[in-house]
Amino acid sequence: MKSTAAVLFEAGRKLELHDVDVAAPKAGEVLVRMAAGGVCHSDLHVMTGHLTAPLPAILGHEGAGVVAEVGAGVTSVRAGDHVIPLWRVSCGECEHCTGGRPALCAAGLEVRRTGRLLDGTSRFTLGGKEIKHFNGVSTFSAYSVIPERSVLKIPDDLPLDRAALLGCAVITGVGAVFNCAKVRPGSSVLVIGTGGVGLNVVQGAALAGAERIIAVDLLDRKLDFARQFGATHTVNASSGDPVAAVRDLTGGRGVDYAFEVIGLPKTMRQAYDCLAKRGMAVVVGVSPFTAEVSVPVMSLVFEERVLTGSIYGSARPRHDIPMLIDLYRAKKLKLDELLTRSYPFEEINEAYAALERGEVARSVVTF
Ligand code: COD
Ligand code: ZN
């Protein structure tokens, strides 16, 4: 079948809309008619070349849609079910999958590295030439073939544009707080970078009962959003040293937890430098392969500080996403406020330009 899709041919170019050919789902795969695709900075990193991926590819890793067709042997969903694609493929069997960290599964890495599904082939072609998948989900296509293990059924009454945000921004941010840092009630939390994912670290910290939540960004608009999501203090890093500002705000002590949600070694180091004794810095952003971050050994040992990272909210999506849906229904999780703009799919390049200009909290493209 034909499907309109946003294809990235090479880094530095814009996304191009094409009618690609989509093959039928094979055994253990599902054809999803996408309703909404989330506009996340991780795709932008691939477009700019900051991060690499096999190209040409159909990008998009956040989304929600409706099952159109299932391949042989699929039992967990059927045509008509509403689903969220889970952008880290997992095998369900290995030590990481059974140990509660499916995002560390080697199958996910392989699909990300090759741009192909689990059998080593792609379901997308254009003019007979192979087009790659992105993280096995490629949500910037009106129709996408996705492994059954990478779709999660959600209730029919959840608006699909809001549901889309759960699949990356929300679970990555809230999950880093709940599953990786395990933020304690009454603690102090710093969030550097309060975009679509960082705002979810802020709201996760508020849900976890943090007493002080300090948001750092370069844009006042983002800091306004951060206050709306639960930040108690804000620092605009364009007007001075954010580390000194955070030390001031904590009476010199530093914070219990610091999250870096941008992907720059400089801000990763800032997060670490803001820690109190026994504090933990969690890196959520990713830098190019060769990037390194260094920290003073003395503080690691004599202050027992921790520096770690979190991928996909260190989450078990099949457990955590239903919990997040419950929190949204209980009016404790802000999804409506997060979705600040919606674009027709044809305007996807404008949606990314607005993200680059820092205009939105999170936006989606709709099909
Ligand atoms: N100091 C403070 N704030 C800054 C600075 C700085 N030096 N530079 C940029 N910022 C702010 C921007 O103003 C913006 O508000 C925010 O940082 C970034 O937000 P967004 O909305 O542009 O980006 P997100 O939230 O969509 O994505 C953030 C990630 C960290 C997830 C992304 O950049 C990343 O590193 N992705 C790769 C890792 C990955 O794949 N993660 C899982 C899928 S998302
Ligand atoms: Zn993302």
Mean pLDDT for the stretch of residues 169-180? 98
Q: Provide, for the chain, the percentages of residues in helix, strand and coil under a 3-state DSSP scheme, each rounded to the nearest 5.
A: 35, 30, 40
10 Å CB burial of residue 360 (0-12, 13-18, 19+) is: buried
pLDDT of the residue at 248? 98
Q: What is the 3-state secondary structure (H, E, C) of 246-282?
A: HHHHCCCCCEEEEEECCCCHHHHHHHHHCEEEEEEEE
- Among 170, 143, 146, which residue's Cα sits nearest to residue 158? 170
Ligand located closest to 59 CA: 2
pLDDT of the residue at 330? 98
pLDDT of the residue at 220? 98
Where residue 179 falls among pLDDT bands split at 50, 70, 90?
very high
Contact yes or no for 169/195 (Cβ under 8 A): no
* CA distance linking residue 14 with residue 70, whole number of Å: 32
Q: Which residues pair with 17 in a beta bridge?
A: 6
Of these residues, 168, 180, 274, 314, which one is catalytic?
168
* CA distance linking residue 338 with residue 132, whole number of Å: 30
* Strand positions, DSSP E, 28-74: 29-39, 57-58, 63-70
Measured CA distances, 131 to 37, 83, 125, 140, 147 (Å) = 19, 23, 5, 13, 17
285-296 pLDDT, tens per residue? 999 999 999 999
pLDDT of the residue at 70? 98
Q: Is the CB of 284 under 6 A from ligand 1?
A: yes
Side-by-side strand order, sheet with 129-131: 57-58, 2-8, 16-22, 124-126, 129-131
Ligand 1 center–CA 353 separation, angstroms: 14
* CA distance linking residue 270 with residue 128, whole number of Å: 48
Number of Cβ within 10 Å of residue 298's Cβ equals: 9
Fold of 169-313: Rossmann fold (3.40.50)
Measured CA distances, 124 to 120, 128, 145 (Å) = 13, 9, 9
pLDDT of the residue at 30? 98
Which phi and psi (to 5°) does residue 267 adopt? -80, -25
> Which residues lie below 8 Å from residue 312, measured CB to CB, with a gap of 6+?
87, 88, 103, 171, 172, 175
pLDDT of the residue at 192? 99
Mean pLDDT for the stretch of residues 211-229? 98
- Tokens read off for 346: 């044809």
| Known catalytic membership, residue 40 | yes
pLDDT of the residue at 68? 98
pLDDT of the residue at 15? 98
Ligand 1 mutation target, pool 40, 89, 262, 282, most atoms within 8 A of CB: 262
Q: pTM for this one?
A: 0.98
Mean pLDDT for the stretch of residues 47-66? 98
Q: Is the CB of 192 under 6 A from ligand 1?
A: yes
Judged by phi (left if over 0) then psi (alpha if -120 to 50, else beta), residue 221 lies in alpha
303-326 pLDDT, tens per residue? 999 999 999 999 999 999 999 999
How big is the chain by its Cα radius of gyration, in Å?
A: 20
Domain layout of the chain by residue ranges:
2-157+337-366, 169-313
245-265 pLDDT, tens per residue? 999 999 999 999 999 999 999
Classified as helix, coil or strand, 324 is helix
Task: Read off the amino acid at residue 208.
Answer: A
Place of tokens 């102090």: 188
Ligand 1 mutation target, pool 197, 286, 360, most atoms within 8 A of CB: 197
Ligand 1 center–CA 73 separation, angstroms: 39
Measured CA distances, 337 to 31, 61, 67, 177, 229 (Å) = 30, 21, 27, 20, 9
Closest-CA residue, ligand 1 atom 14, reads: 195
Mean pLDDT for the stretch of residues 334-348? 98
Ligand 1 center–CA 204 separation, angstroms: 16
pLDDT of the residue at 133? 98
Contact yes or no for 198/225 (Cβ under 8 A): no
11-54 pLDDT, tens per residue? 999 999 999 999 999 999 999 999 999 999 999 999 999 999 99
- Output the average pLDDT for the chain: 98
Of these residues, 3, 40, 105, 141, which one is catalytic?
40
Q: Is the CB of 45 under 6 A from ligand 1?
A: yes
195-215 pLDDT, tens per residue? 999 999 999 999 999 999 999
Q: Concatenate the DSSP letters of all residues of 86-140 into one string.
A: -SS---SSSHHHHTT-GGG-HHHHHHHHHSS-TTS--SEEETTEEEB-STTT--S
Where residue 155 falls among pLDDT bands split at 50, 70, 90?
very high
Number of Cβ within 10 Å of residue 125's Cβ equals: 13
| Domain 2-157+337-366 is found in CATH 3.40.50.300 | no
Question: Please, what's the largest Cα pairwise distance for the chain?
Answer: 63
| Known catalytic membership, residue 45 | yes
Per cent of the chain over pLDDT 90 is 100
pLDDT of the residue at 20? 98
